Amino acid sequence: MRMLKLAIQKNGRLSEQSLELLRTCGIRLSNGDRKLRAASTNFPLEVLFLRDDDIPQYVEQGVADIGILGKNEVLEKARKVEMLDQLGFAACRLSLAIPREESYAGPAYFNGKRVATSYPRILQRFFAEQQIEAEIEEIGGSVEIAPGIGLADGIFDIVSTGSTLLMNGLKEVETVLCSEAVLIATPGIASEPLALLEQLRFRIRAAQNAVIHKYILLNAPDTALEEICSLIPGMKSPTILPLAREGWSSIHSVVGEDVFWEVTGQLKRAGAEGILVVPIEKMIL
């Protein structure tokens, strides 16, 4: 049986998070030492460990069927690949930054300026959309030092916390792209690996749904059941079980992580007691 071939970054935070996603999906790899490739022992999957900027080319050419990497790299390389899913981790943004002492009134600031970046395609598209004429200096690394050594007037680079900009006397002034890890695939992938890909995507969705939901259990007087059920409707409807104490029931449901605290306060006011919130390992809708 042909294995599904997945390319991921060979080291770094994105690599670790990609491997953690596979573990969450119940996929075990035989290679604990992180060589160039590893096979799963319980799913027909082979993992190739590559440089992140090489992954789009390998996927386009079918050397790897699929890949996990940042959306920013997919857009910058502009390879013919299919972007399937956003994976919800490795979030960052690509932003323009200038020296802290400079005043900034909008993108027109960059007219006639030099901007250093490792992402010239994305920046060029942005400048074209904004009708800005600027000189782009493409450099491979340490972009943040460019203004300090006189190479550029500003930079365009990945920003996570902003601490690197601060240390180099820069300030973020314009967010051009919000990025996160994405799953990409070879266009026109063959039927056999395509079937395996859909199995993998099914597992990924179950893992993602679990992350953004909590299982909630509580006790409530029967007189409050209608109000409480309206607050935590769950996937279809809550489960209600009678308690030994007459006039009381136990309610089990699922609540979204983003509204959890707001809903919990409303449940308390409605009369709920003994509220338990439990992580969900997998959630299949």
Residues near 85 by beta carbon (within 8 Å), at least 6 away in sequence: 182, 183, 201, 204
92-179 matches 213-279 in fold: no
Q: In this predicted structure, what is the pLDDT of residue 257?
A: 86
207 to 46, 230, 234, 253, 285: CA distances (angstroms)? 20, 26, 17, 18, 11
Q: How many whole angstroms from its chain centre is CA 184?
A: 13
Q: In this predicted structure, what is the pLDDT of residue 1?
A: 67
Position 55 pLDDT exceeds 80: yes
The neighbouring-strand residues paired with 92 are 179
CB burial class (10 A; 0-12, 13-18, 19+) of residue 283? middle
Instruction: Give per-residue pLDDT as tens, 199-224.
Output: 999 999 999 999 899 999 999 999 99
CB 155 within 8 A of CB 146: yes
181-185 and 66-70 as β-strands: parallel, antiparallel, unpaired?
A: antiparallel
The CA distance from 143 to 168, in Å, is 10
Query: Both tokens of residue 42?
Result: 């319980």
Position 192 pLDDT exceeds 70: yes
Q: How many whole angstroms from its chain centre is CA 44?
A: 24
> Which stretches does DSSP call E strand in 180-238?
181-185, 213-221
DSSP 54: G
| Average pLDDT of the segment spanning 92-120 | 96
Q: In this predicted structure, what is the pLDDT of residue 258?
A: 85
Chosen CATH of 4-88+181-210 out of 3.90.1300.10, 3.40.190.10, 3.10.20.90, 3.40.50.980: 3.40.190.10
Q: In this predicted structure, what is the pLDDT of residue 115?
A: 97
Name the residue ranges covered by the structural domains of the chain.
4-88+181-210, 92-179, 213-279
CA atoms within 13 A on the CB side of 58: 21
The CA distance from 173 to 199, in Å, is 42
Task: Provide the percentage of residues in the chain whose pLDDT is more than 90.
Answer: 82
CATH, range 92-179? 3.40.190.10
Q: In this predicted structure, what is the pLDDT of residue 171?
A: 95
The whole-model pTM stands at: 0.85
The CA distance from 240 to 224, in Å, is 12
CB 200 within 8 A of CB 45: yes
Query: Both tokens of residue 214?
Result: 């909590």
- H or E element: which one contains 270? helix 260-270
Three-class DSSP category at 114: strand
CATH fold for the domain made of 213-279 = Alpha-Beta Plaits (3.30.70)
The neighbouring-strand residues paired with 37 are 48
